[in-house]
């Protein structure tokens, strides 16, 4: 019986060790989808650090606000939302975000920060000590940044293609308008010339043609006649 209990206990430990991640991460979209249920700061920042490659130190007693429940965000959106709800101290390497200190809102330093993902949860770090360390880009962070660069390049190329396509469509539409206007002007010039001809040579035909001209072009202005079109 004791042996069976021991086996069951080991199974429970292993099951907990391989629990499914709380945060869903889409690598191709670099999008984080958070669960509907509230999760602990330890789980939240550990998984965020694992996915993003950002070295994260956080105040252990932080409570993840409900605004994150069930939400789906890209990294830039996530960082902005974190900045609205906590105090962030950012460290950069080659102008890229390498590490974060996440403190209670309004606080600018702490002597009790926990390293996300660290197995030694009792070990604390101070803000001042961390800021003295050079920021480094983890291998995962480099992979994420390269994937982000590729994604942004694809989006930029698609945007350029869409803009070019729209520009070509607008140009084609404008060209059609110009051609229609040119055809209408040519037809009006021909009809005006013909109308003037009959005004001078046959009043009866002129009176019959005049209503049709007015309906299509308005009141005739014979001063606009191009002499080259006269018969």
* Mean pLDDT over each residue of the chain, to the nearest integer: 82
H or E element, residue 26: strand 24-26
Give tens-digit pLDDT for 141-189. 888 888 888 888 888 889 989 999 999 999 999 999 999 989 888 888 8
Residue 38: what pLDDT?
Answer: 85
Distance of alpha carbon 162 from alpha carbon 93, whole angstroms: 34
Sheet of 24-26, strand order? 24-26, 31-33, 72-74
Give tens-digit pLDDT for 25-39. 998 888 999 999 889
Give tens-digit pLDDT for 195-205. 888 888 888 88
The answer on pLDDT for 2 being more than 50 is no
Predicted TM-score (pTM) above 0.85: no
The answer on pLDDT for 230 being more than 60 is no
The answer on pLDDT for 1 being more than 50 is no
The answer on pLDDT for 135 being more than 70 is no
Give tens-digit pLDDT for 51-110. 999 999 999 999 999 999 999 999 999 999 999 999 999 988 888 889 899 999 988 887
Report domain extents, the chain.
2-137, 152-229
Distances (CA, A) of 53 to 33, 56, 83, 117, 153: 17, 9, 18, 11, 21
41, 100 Cβ separation under 8 angstroms: no
Residue 154: what pLDDT?
Answer: 87
Distance of alpha carbon 32 from alpha carbon 49, whole angstroms: 12
């Amino acid at each position: 019986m004791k042996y069976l209990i021991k086996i069951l206990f080991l199974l429970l430990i292993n099951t907990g060790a391989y629990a499914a991640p709380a945060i869903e991460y889409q690598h191709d979209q670099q999008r984080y989808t958070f669960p509907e249920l509230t999760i602990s700061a330890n789980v939240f920042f550990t998984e965020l650090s694992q996915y993003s490659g950002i070295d994260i130190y956080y105040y252990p007693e932080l409570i993840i606000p409900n605004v994150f429940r069930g939400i789906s965000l890209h990294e830039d959106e996530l960082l902005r939302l974190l900045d609205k709800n906590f105090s962030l101290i950012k460290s950069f390497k080659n102008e890229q975000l390498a590490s974060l200190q996440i403190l209670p809102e309004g606080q600018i330093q702490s002597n009790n920060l926990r390293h996300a993902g660290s197995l030694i949860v009792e070990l604390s770090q101070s803000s001042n000590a961390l800021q003295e360390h050079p920021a480094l880009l983890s291998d995962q962070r480099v992979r994420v940044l390269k994937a982000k660069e590729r994604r942004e390049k694809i989006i930029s190329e698609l945007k350029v293609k869409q803009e070019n396509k729209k520009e070509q469509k607008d140009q084609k539409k404008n060209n059609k308008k110009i051609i229609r206007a040119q055809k209408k002007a040519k037809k009006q010039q021909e009809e005006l010339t013909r109308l003037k001809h009959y005004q001078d040579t046959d009043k009866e035909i002129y009176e019959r043609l005049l209503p049709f001209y007015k309906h299509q072009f308005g009141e005739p202005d014979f001063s606009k006649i191009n002499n080259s079109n006269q018969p």
